[in-house]
């Protein structure tokens, strides 16, 4: 039973406004429907007005999501402390790494209950090393006093429990960020288009874009008439980011078509026969897999934490070995060889899985229960 909140203020903290607008809008509406007032704490950027259009307050926080400057991170912590002291919310909901760490530390300092969401562990946890151990220590310090820590797949939860970052009774499991089944619904595919594979993700090497390109190169060499498209945001230059020049080179070779980025993926998804995400990044549960499945589109992804939860191998799509171009090509060949009826059955099963396991109402209910149990009591 969820208690009435009587207009209590809840603060949401994320590493950018895009995350709030694209991933948390449904949760915000559910909280508002339950009577909560909402404030968002995030770095200023192009989505500031879209956040305000949700009917909520926006408070800018200086934050560099991938920055490694201790001085800059100290400024981020101080900004959270100032803003939360001013707002005194009933609870802080933290999303993404730095808000979960520095926002939580500031909230704990002020006695504000915290509910965290660990939406994937990222490249830092892909291998052991000093940075991995440092981030683990920061998580241990910041999450230890949280009222609830939600994870998006059981592997991440088990890792944090084994390392003593969270307690067993403190940790919860969510079906990713959930998916809006009305917004992401099956659409008729354009008639006459060639079979289309779509890679959709941030353009990072760890998301498997290099493997997708090499698989496309091989399939083209074999004479397949399939089309290969890439949809995603070009990341700031770094060793992890796929450079714009590489995309331009692949396009000039005729291997793929780069679609740019968009805040509404439904059009490109509806034009695709299969979504491909050969990720070996430490995902939470990739939202693109949920959205494609809700639209009745089968996916090929890797048998890795977060990805494997979203796809039932051979039923709603296919799982393949990470970092293996051979395995990816084999899966893509198998789905091309299927009849239209067989692929349609995969898509129908994918939609049914989303209706059963990943509808966003399950996520909303978990948050409302956590707030009722902790924030309203002032734990």
Same domain, 353 and 363: no
Q: Average of pLDDT values for 303-332?
A: 96
Length of the chain: 379
Tell me the pLDDT band of 146, cut-offs 50, 70 and 90: very high
CA 256 to each of CA 162, 199, 332: distance values in angstroms, whole numbers, following the listed order? 42, 10, 15
DSSP 206-223: GGTHHHHHHHHHHHHHTT
Q: Enumerate residues 6+ apart whose C-beta is below 8 A from 343.
A: 273, 274, 298, 335
In a domain, 183, yes or no: no
Tell me the per-residue pLDDT of 204-214, one tens digit each, with 9 for 90 and over.
999 999 999 99
In a domain, 314, yes or no: yes
320 falls within a domain: yes
Q: What is the pTM of this model?
A: 0.90
Residues 352 and 364 in one domain: no
Flag whether 187 is in a domain: no
Same domain, 202 and 67: no
Do 205 and 155 belong together in one domain?
no
Query: Strand, coil or helix: what is 120?
Result: strand
Q: 208 and 347: one domain?
A: yes
Looking up residue 302, the CATH number of its domain turns out to be 3.40.50.2000
Closest CA to 107 of 136, 165, 160, 146: 146
My answer on whether 50 and 146 are in the same domain is: yes
Whether residue 185 is contained in a domain is answered as no
Instruction: Supply φ then ψ for residue 113, to 5 degrees.
Output: -60, 145
Q: What are the tens digits of pLDDT across the range 11-61?
A: 999 998 888 988 899 999 999 999 999 999 999 988 889 999 998 999 999
Q: What percent helix, strand, coil does the chain show, rounded to 5? A: 45, 15, 40
Classified as helix, coil or strand, 373 is helix
Total number of domains in the chain: 2
pLDDT of residue 68: 78
Please indicate, yes or no, whether residues 157 and 304 belong to a single structural domain of this protein. no
Which tokens in the block code for residue 25? 């809008």
pLDDT, the chain, mean? 92
Q: Are residues 20 and 117 in the same domain?
A: yes
**pLDDT greater than 70 at residue 231:** yes
pLDDT of residue 7: 87
Query: Which residue range forms the structural domain that includes residue 240?
Result: 196-357
The mean per-residue pLDDT over the stretch 89-105 comes to 95
188 in a domain, yes or no?
A: no
Instruction: Assess whether 92 and 37 both reside in one domain.
Output: yes
Cβ–Cβ under 8 Å, residues 72 and 62: yes
Are 268 and 229 contacting, i.e. CB atoms less than 8 angstroms apart?
A: yes
235-293 residue pLDDT tens:
887 878 999 999 999 999 999 999 999 989 999 999 999 999 999 988 889 999 999 99
């Amino acid at each position: 039973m969820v208690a009435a909140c009587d207009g209590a203020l809840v603060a949401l903290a994320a590493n950018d406004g895009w995350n709030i607008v694209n991933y948390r809008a449904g949760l915000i509406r559910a909280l508002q429907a339950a009577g909560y007032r909402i404030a968002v704490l995030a770095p200023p950027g192009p989505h500031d007005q879209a956040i305000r259009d949700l009917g909520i307050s926006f408070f800018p926080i200086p934050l560099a999501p991938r920055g490694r400057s201790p001085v800059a991170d100290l400024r981020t912590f101080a900004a959270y402390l100032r803003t939360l002291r001013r707002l005194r919310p009933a609870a802080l909901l933290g999303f993404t790494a730095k808000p979960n760490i520095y926002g939580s530390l500031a909230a704990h300092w002020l006695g504000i209950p915290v509910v965290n969401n660990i939406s994937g562990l990222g490249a830092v946890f892909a291998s052991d090393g000093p940075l991995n151990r440092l981030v683990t220590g920061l998580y241990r310090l910041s999450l230890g006093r949280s009222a609830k820590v939600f994870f998006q797949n059981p592997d991440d939860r088990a890792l944090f429990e084994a390392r003593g970052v969270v307690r067993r009774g403190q940790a919860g499991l969510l079906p990713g960020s959930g998916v809006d089944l009305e917004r992401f619904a099956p659409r008729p595919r354009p008639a006459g288009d060639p079979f289309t594979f779509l890679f959709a993700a941030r353009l990072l090497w760890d998301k498997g874009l290099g493997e997708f390109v090499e698989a496309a190169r091989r399939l083209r060499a074999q004479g397949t008439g399939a089309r290969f498209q890439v949809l995603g945001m070009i990341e700031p230059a770094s060793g992890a980011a796929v450079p714009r020049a590489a995309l331009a080179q692949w396009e000039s070779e005729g291997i793929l078509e780069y679609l740019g980025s968009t805040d509404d993926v439904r059009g490109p998804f509806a034009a695709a026969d299969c979504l491909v995400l050969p990720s070996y990044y430490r995902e939470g549960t990739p939202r693109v897999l949920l959205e494609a499945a809700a639209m009745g589109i089968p996916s090929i992804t890797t048998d890795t934490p977060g990805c494997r939860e979203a796809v039932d191998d051979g039923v709603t799509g296919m799982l393949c070995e990470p970092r293996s171009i051979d395995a990816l090509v084999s899966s893509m060949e198998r789905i091309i060889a299927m009849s239209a009826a067989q692929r349609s059955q995969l898509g129908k099963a994918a939609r049914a899985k989303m209706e059963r396991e990943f509808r966003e109402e399950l996520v909303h209910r978990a948050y409302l229960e956590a707030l009722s149990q902790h924030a309203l009591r002032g734990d």
